Amino acid sequence: MRSLSEVALLVARTDRVELLQWVEEGWVVPAQPAPAGGEPAFSDLDIARVQLICELRCDLAIADETMPVILSLLDQVYGLRRQIDRLTDAVQEQPTEIRQAILARLAASAGSARD
């Protein structure tokens, strides 16, 4: 876990004031909220999100008004990826004949999607 000050130093394209604003906006939710008179603590995942926001704002020039929509869509994509990973693990645990039936069904539906 890293403090707000540490994250602001680590991620060169932001500062404490801007990072606090992002927390207030809900763009970043620290792993540990700020205790009374203290700073919030950020996990590695939180820091990666801060870096992503910096890239979106600086490299892609995403406007602040658009950022909640972009972040929401990205959160949905990442959530779907986690679900697909869990589904893949569940399929891998099945007997061979069931895995083969699932793969055959997926292949058939992919073929019909091209039509």
- Give me the pLDDT at residue 114, please: 64
Question: What are 52-111's pLDDT values in tens digits?
Answer: 999 999 999 999 999 999 999 999 999 999 999 999 999 999 999 999 999 999 999 887
Flag whether the pTM goes above 0.85.
Answer: no
- Name the token pair of 55: 């890239």
At 1-59, the pLDDT tens digits run 999 999 999 998 999 999 999 999 999 999 998 888 888 999 999 999 999 999 999 99
Q: For residues 7 and 1, give the distance between their C-alpha atoms in angstroms, rounded to a whole number.
A: 10
Burial class (CB in 10 A: 0-12, 13-18, 19+), 44: exposed
What is the pLDDT, as a whole number, of residue 38? 84
pLDDT above 70: residue 113: no
Q: Determine what percent of the chain falls in helix, strand and coil, rounding each to the nearest 5.
A: 70, 5, 30
Q: What is the pLDDT of residue 37?
A: 81
DSSP E strand boundaries for 1-115 = 2-3, 41-42
